[in-house]
Chains A and B, each alone.
Chain A
Amino acid sequence: MRPFDPYRNWRQVVFALVVAVVGVVFLVVLAAVWSAAHTG
């Protein structure tokens, strides 16, 4: 049986938000680096 965790939903929400923001920021930075590498 799954142990009692009153925070399960909130943890999933925070995890999803962090992953989403980090993913988006990483892709944006990557695109910026790519662009800088090919214009320089």
Chain B
Amino acid sequence: MTAPTEAGGRPRRVLEIAIAVCFGFVFLLFGPSLNSLFYAAGVTMGGLMVVRYVSVLAGVMVSRPAGPSAPAPHEEPAYRQYLFGPAVRDLRAALIAAVIRYRRDVERIWGGIGPAADRGLTGLAVAIGLSTLLIVGVVVGVAVLAGVMLVHVAVVGALLGVGMAAVYALRAGEAGLAWIRGIRVACPSCYRRVSVPVYDCPHCGAAHRRALPGRYGVAHRVCRCGARIPVLAGRRRLAGRCPYCEMPMVRAAGTAPEVVVPVFGAPAAGKTRLLATLVLGLTTRPGLGVELDPDTAGRYERIRPALLLGEPTRATLAELPRAYSMYLRAGRAPRRLVHFFDAAGERYGRSDRLGELSYLRLSRSFVFVLDVLSIGGVWAGLAEADRERLAPYRAALAPEFVFAQLTTNVQGMGVPLGRARLAVAVSKVDLVPGAVAGLPPAGDQIGAWLEGPAGQGNLVRAMRLHFGQVRFFLTSSLVGPAGLGPGASMLVDWVLEQRGGGEPR
């Protein structure tokens, strides 16, 4: 009769021979005594269990590992990090396989001893002796198997513990660093505060909505397509989208403190033009590193010709406008991302729509554009012909009304205006040069003029009452060959005084 064989054709007697050799070797090693028989049985079965577990583990983890399960539809489109799921699966598979193999081994050995009992008294005595040894061996084997399993559990548990500690430490470190550097990320389209942008896989386009250290990876994650996506600082090199409105974020958002400067005023007060003027002033300023966001650069290039030729710019659409965003680096100061929000003036006519401008919550610097033509005293002082000529350029709403709307809403949002600063840009002064004759391009004299001859005392007092700091500027709607006018240039200086983190210097 031939011995049964395993799949590979090896005789199955290998197990019995190995056990017999090991038993004999250990017995001889421990010396000829009754105790040595029990030691040999225990060591042999214990050793068998170690070898069995290692071979089972090799099968589960090295030679025939289970393939990765595809990410579930409700989960991120990435494979779980090994320690945060598959490791426990492997552990379970190895434990079950080891127990099954152990049971089979014991049954086989028992099957070899049983027939000896049928061969007379001598056989029965041998069978009883071997059974006793087997019982001792099985008990030791179970203990060894439990110990080996415990080692596996401990190794996986320790690595999991280290992994979790790393995840929380990295997350806390990133949040702490952002807090110290005053980095808060705002979406330039919907103006909400974004903690983590959505990153699309550069390979397959799958949207990774929480690309942070976590169960999908500590330093990087593997996308369902197999591509590696960084989840630490390297993720900011990828193009991000806003998780709320899905619009693109500014490139490399989160790498620099962000400064949000809303420019508000009545419709047709000249906000768009003032913004374009500010961008022009910043990009042409010597010694200042300016990096326009591609979207901002595109829009600025469309407005620039009208700005240089002194033609009217298109009225901003009433839907939420995308911010003008740019990175600024001035001297040794840290790089900042400045968002100028060009809020359509139509919003200020209705409180319910103003509430949509949630970015106001992030702002500590505000620019109020005050159309000089909308000042009753100035308008009344113009000749009839001038009034007819300038009527199309005049802002529709009274500045006091617009300002009251803003302060009511912003205070309702919980913004501490007492810690914020306000720049009042009196616009279109080139259209009525006589009205502002003798005034400097910036300074409190402009405030005094507004309070006195211009008849805006209530407005100026309200500004000083609400805001911690108020500065006044005269800005022109024209850009001369020499560049910006002095008032606009000083307004650019005022913007540059703002450091990151939302707090004025």
Residues of A participating in the B interface, judged by any CB pair closer than 8 Å: 3-8, 10-12, 14-15, 17-19, 21-23, 25-26, 29-30, 33-34, 37
Contacts and interface: CB of A to CB of B under 8 A. Distances in A.
B147 A25 contact: yes
A13 to B, nearest CB: 8
Interface residues of B, number: 35
B360 to A, nearest CB: 45
A19 B54 contact: yes
Given A18-B155, A22-B50, A37-B36, A11 B148 contact: no
A15 B43 contact: no
B155 A21 contact: yes
B57 interface: yes
A24 to B, nearest CB: 10
Contacts of B83: 10
Nearest to B50: A26
A18 B155 CA distance: 7
Contacts of A8: 65
A14 B53 contact: no
B35 to A, nearest CB: 7
B480 interface: no
B62 A12 contact: yes
Interface of B: 30, 35-36, 39, 42-43, 46-47, 50, 53-54, 57-58, 61-62, 65, 67-68, 79, 82-83, 86-87, 90, 144, 147-148, 151-152, 154-156, 159, 222, 226
B151 A25 contact: yes
A33 B90 CA distance: 32
Q: List the 5 shortest-distance A-B pairs measured between CB atoms, nearest first.
A: A10-B82, A11-B61, A7-B82, A6-B222, A15-B61
B147 A14 contact: no
Given A5-B68, A6-B226, A37-B36, A18 B79 contact: no
A18 B152 contact: yes
Contacts of B90: 11, 14
30 contacts: A3-B67, A4-B67, A4-B226, A5-B65, A6-B222, A6-B226, A7-B82, A7-B86, A11-B61, A11-B62, A11-B65, A11-B82, A11-B90, A14-B82, A14-B87, A15-B61, A17-B155, A17-B159, A18-B54, A18-B151, A19-B54, A21-B151, A23-B50, A25-B151, A26-B46, A26-B47, A26-B50, A29-B46, A33-B43, A37-B35
Contacts of B53: 22
B83 to A, nearest CB: 7
Contacts of A29: 46
B61 A22 contact: no
A18 B62 CA distance: 13
A20 to B, nearest CB: 9
Nearest to B85: A7
Contacts of B147: 25
Contact of A14 (B39, B46, B156): B156
Contacts of A14: 61, 82, 87, 90, 155-156, 159
Nearest to B38: A37
Nearest to A10: B82
Contacts of A10: 82-83, 86-87
Contacts of A34: 30
B35 A22 contact: no
Contact of A7 (B46, B58, B68, B156): B68
Given A12-B62, A14-B159, A37-B35, A22 B54 contact: yes
B82 A33 contact: no
Nearest to A30: B43
